[in-house]
Structure 1
Amino acid sequence: MTGRHAGPAPDFRDRALVPVLVFLGTVVAVISSLGAPLVPTIAAVDHVSLSDAQWSLTITLLVGSIATPVMGRLGDGPHRRRVVLGSIAVVLLGSVLAALPLGFGFLVAGRGLQGVGLGLVPLTIATARDVLPAERSRPAVALLSITTVAGVGLGYPLTGLITESLGVHAGFWFGAIISALALLAAALVLPRTGSGKKRPLDAPGAALLAVGLAALLLALSEGEVWGWTSLRVLGLIVFAVVLLAGWSRHELRTAHPLVDLRTLRNRSVLTANVAGLIAGVAMYMLMSMVTRFVQTPSSTGYGFGTSVLVTGLVLLPFSAASVASSKLVPLLARRTSTALVLPIGCGISLLSMVLFLVARGSLWELFVIMGVAGLGVGCTFAVMPGLIVNAVPAHETGSAISFNQVLRTIGYTTGSVLSAVVLQAHTPSGHLLPEDSGYQSAAWLGCVIWVVTAVVTIVLPRRASAAARRAMTVDEELLMDESIADAETAEDSAGADAGVPAAPAVSTAPTVPARSGR
């Protein structure tokens, strides 16, 4: 009688690892996007204002921004599997809490617990780097990077379909079911241990970053309601800037930082982080505009008055194209270079903004626009983790990518707020809906942001290449001097062994002509 394996065979785990990691990232993205299309419905069902209902989305982003760097640091040690499984369990608990008809307070608390899942994507990328061979890890990292983008476009139509058919709480029950499946799959497939040594958690750094990010995101989220010039908003922004500056100073001085900011000296890491922040702003500006535009009643002279389901379907090409971009990126890199993929992605995204400027008169045009946008954003975000992974030590992968994810989240929130501010500025007094010129102005601003992103992705790597060439030249000169010195030492030694007096040393420095007496 042959024995049975207690768990899946190693070859099964190897084959299933990448699909499970991608599934985890997609589940996180779908669950995090559940709140956005449901805000009006939650307000009506729980009898709260729209600004209060918005917290069902804001709390998820806020908790995710705080949890992501902490999970990234914990996941860089030997307990990555425990961190991943524990985080999915928290997401599952939050999904159940949000699904139960216990009132708005419990729904917000559940959505906050779901936000912990946003820290899982960097850990999946770190796992792919550590476990997979190089030829498999590179495409896996690129695919995992865009799951957060693709999942948002997938989550909107799913949410709309479930909500229209079964009610608002059914969407969160769907989140609970896929969370349970993700927990089971991860428990079966994830490696038993992570790589790296256990390192102490930078608790003061985590506290400073948590409070600073919370203040900043709260100001961005509530600025439209409280007023951008109100003392509460301005005070929160100043408070956030002071705390984040103090956090940066602390991280540069502590022996075991939560995020090693010294990696920003590497131009590849700096490029990925700056581009991720700015691209996140532009991406969410377009998504926010499109979802609001298509739901606007046609009686206003624009818009299509679509349902939540149809609005979600408009975003579906965004998800499909962003996933397809993971196949396009290697082709672009081979035909051009890896350094050019980022600006090419920015150029495609800029094209989507231009199309929104000139061609949004029919629903099919918006489907095309979101497809182009997904292709551009997918190319842009697919490259960023690779830049970071190739530039930082293996034991810093989770932390470095987590920081990039935090910057993206700040960009997402800023983009959503920025589009709302521009549209509000073009809303006549006493009216609820903006004029069509508001979308025109917001799209022009989005074009400018994509141009700035493209410039960043071109200028920073070029400066890095110039610096590398200068460093290489200096290194070559040093090596030449060392070779000459070694040759002279060997010659002297050989002469001494043969009884020949050593030759006088010859200076390799350039001869400086003596000054005349004039």
Structure 2
Amino acid sequence: MSTATTHSETKPPATAGIVAVLAFAGIVVALMQTLVIPLIPQLPELLDASPGNTAWAITATLLAGAVAVPVMGRLGDMFGKRRMLLVSMALLVAGSVVGALSVSLTPLIIARALQGLAAGVIPLGISVMRDVLPKEKLAGSVALMSASLGVGGALGLPVAAILAEYSNWHFLFWTAAVLGAAATALIVVVVPESKVRTGGSFDFIGAVSLSTGLITLLLAISKGSSWGWTNELTLGLFIASAVTFVSWGFWELHTTGPLVDLRVSVGRQVLFTNLASIVFGFSMFAMTLVFPQVLQLPEATGYGLGQSMLVAGLVMAPSGVVMMLIAPLSSRITRLYGPKTTLMAGAVVVAIGYGTGVVMMSEVWQLVLISVVIGAGTGLAYGAMPALIMGAVPASETGAANSFNTLMRSLGTSFASAVAGVILAQMTMSMGDTSIPSEQAFHVTMAVAAGAAVIAFVVASFLPKHSPQGSTEVVAAVPEREALTIS
């Protein structure tokens, strides 16, 4: 009897359950990014507000996520990653409930900001995996968790479109609240707390200055097309962002316990992984901007496919499924050849997908095929990025380092939105009294995205080589620095 009791007390956690719960939480959080996209054309009427003001329902989530990702990562390293996971999920549930009860624009913007504050769940989940999973399970689990960002975003479009079309729009937020509550409960029951901690105090000055720099930069990028890229406010925000980032970098290099250890971040492996992440984030997001428009434009244009938002979402959904299915292949390539090879292979596949789109977007099945190819490449690359980061930082800084990498991807998607917005706004044709993006505009956007994938390949080629044996043991790649293990 006593032997059985001892065995149960020392039995390792059920790794499959931990991975499944964390991946589910990541998918739920990623769903928030596309939750209101089907509602965007209807929001001005639903909330009695102008289109410019209702756009803040998207912008608020973007800005809040940019602030939350690095802050939650550092807090997770200091006070417990599982604890910060639960805080993030609680913010998501609170935001969803506020959104479900909203009848005007201001509370909806607050709700979307609260949902955005949960953006740190995916990098925190990856960091938990590093701390609690056995080494042989880590590569595949991290690949799946990392892919959940793309999975949730892709699956969110059809789910949100169905709910928006066949129910009251508030039901979108009630559904998000239920999913968030379920993920929270599962984390409480299944996911153990990591015992790895970082000492020191929280870098409030670093957090505030980084947040200020990110908010001014992303605000200028997201609003530049509507305000005007040469508008005084837009230029002022870009200048303020640059000055703030320089000041933040100086502070981080001269303070103890920085929010982001820039000395580690400028190391070859971390630096080039983060640079590749920016370019890859740019490339991955272009599809989301092009395909829904091509699918929904009327056939009278000569290149539009005249489909509904629901069909557009369903066309995007297979890419998310493929991202999840490709995770085992991504981890296998990483184990055999190293994460550098996996990242470069993903960039090649994405470039092929977008290159195909330059010449082939005239049928629904063609867009499905292209989205599947791009999803496969994205799944390969997203699975490799955390392995590269964790192979170059101490375990005590995993949360902050993974969060910063996730932030780099998010910056890439923001740049994609801005660049694609300029292309689609400048290359137009007239249809009645309305200007719409021309067919050439979509092809140019796809070509730019293909070029971004090629650049990601080139950047990844500068990463240091990995031996097959070393690539599977990311947790042992770097010695601990200032780590405190709590029993």
Amino acid at match of 1:376: G
Amino acid at match of 1:45: L
Q: Given that residues 76 and 194 in structure 1 are in contact (C-alpha distance below 8 angstroms), is that contact kept between their aligned partners in structure 2?
A: no
Q: Go from structure 1 to structure 2 and tell me whether the alpha carbon gap of 1:457 and 1:193 turns closer, same or farther (over 3 Å shift).
A: closer
Q: How far apart, in 2, do the equivalents of 1:126 and 1:316 lie?
A: 27
> Structure 1 residue 306: deviation in Å?
2.0
Q: How far apart, in 2, do the equivalents of 1:75 and 1:194 lie?
A: 11
> Structure 1 residue 43: deviation in Å?
2.6
> Structure 1 residue 336: deviation in Å?
4.8
> Structure 1 residue 295: deviation in Å?
1.5
Q: Deviations over 1:194-239 (max 9, x none)?
A: 4214431100000101111000111011111101111111111111
Q: Deviations over 1:138-196 (max 9, x none)?
A: 21111111111111001111101111110221111110110010111111122245421
Q: Given that residues 341 and 383 in structure 1 are in contact (C-alpha distance below 8 angstroms), is that contact kept between their aligned partners in structure 2?
A: yes
1:439 aligns with 2:442: yes
Secondary structure, counterpart of 1:210 in structure 2 = helix
Amino acid at match of 1:159: A
Q: Go from structure 1 to structure 2 and tell me whether the alpha carbon gap of 1:16 and 1:124 turns closer, same or farther (over 3 Å shift).
A: same
Matches within 5 A, 1:306-325: 306-325=307-326
Q: Deviations over 1:380-432 (max 9, x none)?
A: 11100000111100000000011011111111111122111101011247633
Deviates more, 1:125-134 or 1:192-201: 192-201
1:131 aligns with 2:144: no
Q: How far apart, in 2, do the equivalents of 1:81 and 1:342 lie?
A: 28
* % identical equivalent positions: 35
CA radius of gyration, larger in:
1
Q: How far apart, in 1, do the equivalents of 2:257 and 2:60 lie?
A: 29
> Structure 1 residue 283: deviation in Å?
1.1
Q: Deviations over 1:14-48 (max 9, x none)?
A: 44211111111111101222123321122331132
- In the other structure, the counterpart of 1:186 is 187
> Structure 1 residue 264: deviation in Å?
2.3
- In the other structure, the counterpart of 1:62 is 63
Q: Given that residues 198 and 397 in structure 2 are in contact (C-alpha distance below 8 angstroms), is that contact kept between their aligned partners in structure 1?
A: no
Amino acid at match of 1:53: T
Q: Given that residues 340 and 384 in structure 2 are in contact (C-alpha distance below 8 angstroms), is that contact kept between their aligned partners in structure 1?
A: no
Q: How far apart, in 1, do the equivalents of 2:334 and 2:126 lie?
A: 20
Q: How far apart, in 2, do the equivalents of 1:234 and 1:140 lie?
A: 43
- In the other structure, the counterpart of 2:47 is 46
Q: Go from structure 1 to structure 2 and tell me whether the alpha carbon gap of 1:86 and 1:217 turns closer, same or farther (over 3 Å shift).
A: same
Secondary structure, counterpart of 1:461 in structure 2 = coil
Q: How far apart, in 2, do the equivalents of 1:417 and 1:432 lie?
A: 19
1:457 aligns with 2:460: yes
Secondary structure, counterpart of 2:78 in structure 1 = coil
Secondary structure, counterpart of 1:142 in structure 2 = helix
Q: How far apart, in 1, do the equivalents of 2:120 and 2:85 lie?
A: 9
Deviates more, 1:392-401 or 1:41-50: 41-50
- In the other structure, the counterpart of 2:247 is 246
Secondary structure, counterpart of 1:117 in structure 2 = coil
Q: Go from structure 1 to structure 2 and tell me whether the alpha carbon gap of 1:271 and 1:292 turns closer, same or farther (over 3 Å shift).
A: same
> Structure 1 residue 298: deviation in Å?
1.6
Q: How far apart, in 2, do the equivalents of 1:395 and 1:314 lie?
A: 41
Amino acid at match of 2:294: F
Listed as ranges, the gaps of 5+ residues in structure 1 are 466-518
- What is the aligned length? 460
> Structure 1 residue 137: deviation in Å?
1.7
Q: How far apart, in 2, do the equivalents of 1:332 and 1:12 lie?
A: 26
Amino acid at match of 1:366: L
- In the other structure, the counterpart of 2:367 is 366
Q: Given that residues 212 and 241 in structure 1 are in contact (C-alpha distance below 8 angstroms), is that contact kept between their aligned partners in structure 2?
A: yes
Q: How far apart, in 2, do the equivalents of 1:277 and 1:202 lie?
A: 25
Listed as ranges, the gaps of 5+ residues in structure 2 are 468-487
- In the other structure, the counterpart of 1:280 is 281
- In the other structure, the counterpart of 1:142 is 143
Matches within 5 A, 1:221-370: 221-333=222-334, 336-370=337-371
Matches within 5 A, 1:466-477: none
Q: How far apart, in 1, do the equivalents of 2:198 and 2:440 lie?
A: 56
With structure 1 as the length reference, what TM-score do the two structures score? 0.85
> Structure 1 residue 335: deviation in Å?
6.0
> Structure 1 residue 256: deviation in Å?
0.8
Amino acid at match of 1:439: F
- In the other structure, the counterpart of 1:494 is none
Q: Given that residues 271 and 461 in structure 1 are in contact (C-alpha distance below 8 angstroms), is that contact kept between their aligned partners in structure 2?
A: no
Q: Go from structure 1 to structure 2 and tell me whether the alpha carbon gap of 1:200 and 1:389 turns closer, same or farther (over 3 Å shift).
A: same
- In the other structure, the counterpart of 1:107 is 108
Q: How far apart, in 1, do the equivalents of 2:357 and 2:231 lie?
A: 33
> Structure 1 residue 435: deviation in Å?
1.2
Q: How far apart, in 1, do the equivalents of 2:181 and 2:230 lie?
A: 44
1:205 aligns with 2:214: no
Q: Go from structure 1 to structure 2 and tell me whether the alpha carbon gap of 1:377 and 1:156 turns closer, same or farther (over 3 Å shift).
A: same
Q: Given that residues 340 and 463 in structure 2 are in contact (C-alpha distance below 8 angstroms), is that contact kept between their aligned partners in structure 1?
A: no
Q: Deviations over 1:271-327 (max 9, x none)?
A: 210011111011111221112221212222211232221111011111011112212
Q: Go from structure 1 to structure 2 and tell me whether the alpha carbon gap of 1:135 and 1:65 turns closer, same or farther (over 3 Å shift).
A: same
Q: How far apart, in 2, do the equivalents of 1:144 and 1:28 lie?
A: 12
Secondary structure, counterpart of 2:201 in structure 1 = coil
> Structure 1 residue 52: deviation in Å?
2.2
Q: Given that residues 122 and 398 in structure 1 are in contact (C-alpha distance below 8 angstroms), is that contact kept between their aligned partners in structure 2?
A: yes
Q: How far apart, in 2, do the equivalents of 1:120 and 1:253 lie?
A: 29
Q: Given that residues 357 and 443 in structure 1 are in contact (C-alpha distance below 8 angstroms), is that contact kept between their aligned partners in structure 2?
A: yes
- In the other structure, the counterpart of 2:419 is 418
Q: Given that residues 271 and 456 in structure 1 are in contact (C-alpha distance below 8 angstroms), is that contact kept between their aligned partners in structure 2?
A: yes
Amino acid at match of 1:294: L
Q: Deviations over 1:231-287 (max 9, x none)?
A: 111111111011011111111111110011111232221121001111101111122
Deviates more, 1:56-65 or 1:301-310: 301-310
Q: How far apart, in 1, do the equivalents of 2:107 and 2:401 lie?
A: 33
With structure 2 as the length reference, what TM-score do the two structures score? 0.90
Amino acid at match of 2:339: T
Q: Go from structure 1 to structure 2 and tell me whether the alpha carbon gap of 1:252 and 1:279 turns closer, same or farther (over 3 Å shift).
A: same
- In the other structure, the counterpart of 1:448 is 451
Q: Given that residues 25 and 147 in structure 1 are in contact (C-alpha distance below 8 angstroms), is that contact kept between their aligned partners in structure 2?
A: yes
Q: Given that residues 37 and 159 in structure 1 are in contact (C-alpha distance below 8 angstroms), is that contact kept between their aligned partners in structure 2?
A: yes
Secondary structure, counterpart of 2:362 in structure 1 = coil
> Structure 1 residue 13: deviation in Å?
5.0
Q: How far apart, in 1, do the equivalents of 2:195 and 2:29 lie?
A: 21
- In the other structure, the counterpart of 1:87 is 88
- In the other structure, the counterpart of 1:406 is 407
Amino acid at match of 1:440: H
> Structure 1 residue 53: deviation in Å?
2.2
